Amino acid sequence: MKITDIREARVSIASDIANAYISFAKMDVSVLAIYTDVWVDGRQVVGYGFNSNGRYAQSGLLRERFLPRLREADPTALVDDSGANLDPFRVWNVLMANEKPGGHGERSVAVGIIDMAVWDIVAKTENKSLAQLLAERHGDGTADANVSVYAAGGYYYPGKQVSALKDEMRDYLDLGYTCTKMKIGGVPLAEDLERVEAAIDVVGDASRLAVDANGRFDLKTALAFAEGLAPYGVRWYEEAGDPLDYALQQQLGEHYAPPMATGENLFSHQDARNLLRYGGMRADRDILQMDPVLSYGLVEYLRMLEVLKQHGWSSRQCIPHGGHQFALNIASGLKLGGNESYPRVFAPFGGFADSTPIESGYVAIPAMPGIGFEDKRELMNVFDKHLR
């Protein structure tokens, strides 16, 4: 196998939504296509990649650093022992050659975009879904047929009232979701608790609603919100403080017994290991949300899962950030605890295949090779427009 062409572009996903920390008014995303000289069932094998929302497009890093390394590499350094398929681990080593350890910055995102496209190629060449490929290579041999998903939303919109939040939550239930997530921390505690009560009123039970502060709080505020949230019993209290403030996370856990969640802004297995060592996370109830695309790709995510295993954590406690088809395949093939979903925001990158509607809070893996982007018409239209 040889790579014959690589194409990259920047695409806007700007909107007027905001969380407690950032506005998405200028948000964009990198899209990537890697073409190969392999054909399967009459179709050229092409791998597609993009970065998860919340981090901007990585065009500079891709064009000036990582894609040149991929283009200039000896083709034999990128393939497996058979020479018939790419080896994601060898590709990763080529991309990270001459890179110092630590200080991950956003190079982890650029590498993750390429990694997504590479795994798409590998699974398509094997004529298997990525979920099944991962189950066979890195799991127990069988993929989960369906994956639990929750609808992430509840953002702050200009002029949005509590009634609009309730309408949004009803919409998610109508789409087939049973669990949802909403933002907190963008308004005073009393106002946010009013929003939480309104959302619970719609979803029917607090255990079906998670809340996310996006790292906004200092310890005092995190504890105040914890005290306010505790009586409700929400599904989890997410990213109360800065993602690298392990002491804050540890102290929060001493005062807040219900489940907590964090990890989407940790970009290496070393970061994940430090969270488990120093963050007071509890393997019997807390959720880890590391994002395979933002954190150097699936190659590094597999290293994270090994760290979790060494610390006595089950993969079922992992529910990745990202809300897209790549993470869904990973959740299925590696038997994670579920997957995020963005049914109404970050389109068409969020959400899943056209042929697999949400049913009672679960979604199936599309019956096609690779990640399954070809079963997502609006996303393929974006790829066709920008990368053909």
The answer to whether residues 298 and 108 touch, using CB atoms and an 8 Å cutoff, is no
Q: What do you get for the CA distance between the two ends of the chain, in Å?
A: 21
DSSP state of 62: I
Task: Convert the pLDDT of each residue in 214-243 to its tens digit.
Answer: 999 999 999 999 999 999 999 999 999 999
Q: DSSP letter string over 211-240?
A: EE-TT---HHHHHHHHHHHTTT--S-EE--
**Whole-angstrom distance, CA of residue 382 vs CA of residue 6:** 16
Model-wide pTM > 0.75: yes
* Catalytic residue IDs: 183, 321
pLDDT digits (tens, 9 = 90+) for 273-315: 999 999 999 999 999 999 999 999 999 999 999 999 999 999 9
Residue 297 forms beta bridges with which residues? none
Q: How confident is the model at residue 103 (pLDDT cuts 50, 70, 90)?
A: confident
- Contact (CB, 8 A) for 218 and 241: yes
In Å, what is the CA distance from 342 to each residue of 163, 257, 323? 20, 28, 6
Distance between CA atoms of residues 273 and 278, nearest Å: 9
Can you give the pLDDT at residue 182? 98
Residues 6 or more apart in contact with residue 203 via CB below 8 angstroms: 169, 173, 178, 179, 180, 209
Position 39 confidence tier, pLDDT thresholds 50, 70, 90:
very high
